[in-house]
Amino acid sequence: MKKLIVYLLLASSVIACKDVVNEVPDTPFSTTPYTFSFNKTVLPPVRIPKDNPLTQEGVQLGRMLFYDPILSADSTQSCASCHNQTDAFTDNGRQFSTGIRGITGTRNAMSIVNMMWHLDGFFWDGRSDALKHLALIPIEDPTEMDETIGNVVAKLNRSPMYQEAFKKAFGTGAIGDEIIGKALEQFMLTMVSGNSKFDRVVMLKTEEFTVQERTGQTIFNQEATPINEELDPKNPKNFGGDCFHCHGNSLFMSRNYMSNGLPNVTDLGRGATNGNPRDNYKFKTPTLRNIEKTAPYMHDGRFNTLEEVVQHYLSDMTNATANLGDEPNMHALRDSVYLSEEHKAALVAFLKTLTDDDFLTNEAYSNPF
């Protein structure tokens, strides 16, 4: 109801100012509210920051900025250079991204998807708490776009196209860092994935899994069972992968920074951000939506295939770098579940049902230029 009133107010201000638009070009400005079209039974309720309501004009502007190399020092790199739609907004299969001067970073580019439900921070170490702030970080990162916000502001202010677009979206042609961040935030919030085979089978019940995918689903959602030769090797329930504890619910991610038992990790991750040694070598638990498209895997891109990832989870984790003692769900993984070749393949087949072709091809997320 509250929202409706805001929309009505906005709508009436559109009508009210139409006649006088030439006399007072900057105030007040009219915008069109943005409405989401995803299926509401599949994903949690919409969550938009109070200080940045989504408008079609703001989203469109954010989309332009996302795809425009003007944000980088030598105009060679846009956000999309490392966040490519066909790879679910990851970096073209690269282990580490290469920034504008050929400098390589140390982390694997993350997928940008369902961002409004990431409640506990952004980046592998959670060092950013809001998308509108995050959006400015890659611009100044010397291994990414290596530009200053001041220069970006100056360049955008020189562009009649951006003057016009910012006026439409934020009512001002005086472009500053706050509204650049907000526009990018608006666009990223619209990137929603909720139409995979998983959604159609499990949430909407309009399709069915193959037998293999269903076996994989059982393994994914089953508590791990220590190896026991007396168990029936054909029954997937006896060989749970215990994935759901950390990649559960319809977002396939969790709110915690965790360790999944990787050996030889050198990046302190969350611990470097919050200074808590118990969080050393822990990372954001990433979503598994569109995971088929986002190889290589992990914060350091160490695994090239989902088969390698599954093999890691089946391995003995005594050499894990992080202390697994304080990981609530690691008991299961450490106990080394055993999966037959058939069960491993089934788990991978289930993970592939999270691919959402609509998301990967939706024109609304594509290059507007």
List contacts with ligand HEC (CB under 6 A): 71, 77, 79, 81-83, 97, 99, 105, 107, 109-110, 112, 118, 122-125, 134-135, 138-139, 144-145, 184, 188, 241-243, 245-247, 258, 260, 262, 283, 285-286, 288, 291, 294, 297-299, 309-310, 313, 327, 329-330, 333, 347
Q: How far is the CB of 281 from ligand HEC (least distance, A)?
A: 8
Would you say 135 or 179 has its CB closer to ligand HEC? 135
Q: DSSP labels for 238-279?
A: GSB---TTTS-TTTT--SSEE----BS----BHHHHH--GGG
Q: Are 57 and 168 in contact (CB under 8 A)?
A: yes
Tell me the closest approach of the beta carbon of residue 286 to ligand HEC, in angstroms.
Answer: 4
Question: Between 30 and 315, whose beta carbon lies closer to ligand HEC?
Answer: 315
> Measured between alpha carbons, how far is residue 359 from residues 46, 284, 340 in Å?
17, 22, 33
- Rounded to the nearest whole angstrom, what is the least distance from the CB of residue 342 to ligand HEC in the complex? 15
Partners of residue 263 on adjacent β-strands: 320
Burial track 52-71 (b if 16+ CB lie within 10 A, e otherwise): bbbbbbbbbbbbbbbbbbbb
At closest approach, how far in Å is the CB of 223 from ligand HEC?
Answer: 10
CB of 258 closer than 8 Å to CB of 270: no
- For residues 135, 187, 181, 110, the Cα torsion angle rounded to the nearest 10 degrees is -10
Of residues 199 and 242, the one with the C-beta less far from ligand HEC:
242
Q: Which amino acid is at 246?
A: C
Give CA–CA dist 192/86, Å, rounded.
Answer: 14
Minimum CB distance to ligand HEC smaller for 26 or for 342: 342
Sequence-ordered list of residues with C-beta below 8 angstroms from that of 30, at least 6 positions apart, any chain: 10, 13, 14, 17, 18
Residue 365 C-beta: closest distance to ligand HEC, Å: 13
As measured in angstroms, the least distance from the Cβ of 64 to ligand HEC is 12
Q: Which is nearer to ligand HEC, 29 or 67 (CB)?
A: 67
Nearer to ligand HEC, 138 or 170 (CB): 138
